[in-house]
Amino acid sequence: AVKRALPADVAIMVAAVADWRTLEAAPEKMKKRGSAPPALRLTENPDILASVAVHEKRPKLVVGFAAETEQVIDHAKEKRKRKGADWIVANDVSGDVMGGNANAVHIVSDKGVESLPEMPKDEVAAALVERIADALVKSGSRSR
C-alpha cells in the first residue's frame, strides 16, 4: 500500500509494525491441548521503512521513528543508517511516556542530533511538521 502512494515528497513512517508474524494462519480456532501453549512458527515482516528508502520513486525525505529504552541516540543513529532513512525521530520509552501527554524526542539526521525538550505531544508533532516543511522548502522538493 505504501509503495502505491509513491511518488511523494516525504514519507513519514510512524507506525510500529510488528517485526514478526506467524508463518501460517490457523484455518480454525486453536483448541487447548493440555497445559502447554501451541508452538508458533514465526517469520519476519517486510521492512517497510527500508523498502521505501531504496525505492526507485524514493521521497526526497524519508522519516522513521524509534522507540528505545536505552542508548536512545546511538540506537537511532544506527537505525537511520541501516534503514536508509534521512531522519530518525527517537524517544525514550523506558519511563511512562506511553499513554502520557508529553514527550521529548531526538531528531537524528546526517547533520547531527537535534534534541527537543519535553513538551505536550501535539507540540512535538507541530515541531516535527515545521522541520519537515522547512526541509522540503530547502530541498525544492517536487514529487518525482
Is 31 among the domain residues?
Answer: no
Is 144 among the domain residues?
Answer: no
Instruction: Scan for cell 530547502, then name that residue.
Output: 138
- Is the pLDDT at 1 greater than 80? The verdict is no
- For 90-111, the pLDDT digits (tens) are 998 887 767 788 899 999 999 9
Considering only the C-alpha atoms of the chain, give the largest distance between any 2 of them, rounded to a whole number of Å. 63
Smallest CA-to-CA distance from 132 within 63, 55, 49 is with 63
Please state the domain count of the chain: 1
Is 79 among the domain residues?
Answer: yes
Write the CATH number for 63: 3.40.50.10300
Smallest CA-to-CA distance from 21 within 44, 47, 49 is with 44
Phi and psi torsions of 120, nearest 5°: -55, 145
Is 128 among the domain residues?
Answer: yes
- For 21-36, the pLDDT digits (tens) are 999 988 999 888 788 8
For the chain, give percent helix, strand, coil, nearest 5. 30, 25, 45
Domain that holds residue 112: 3-17+42-139
Is 134 among the domain residues?
Answer: yes
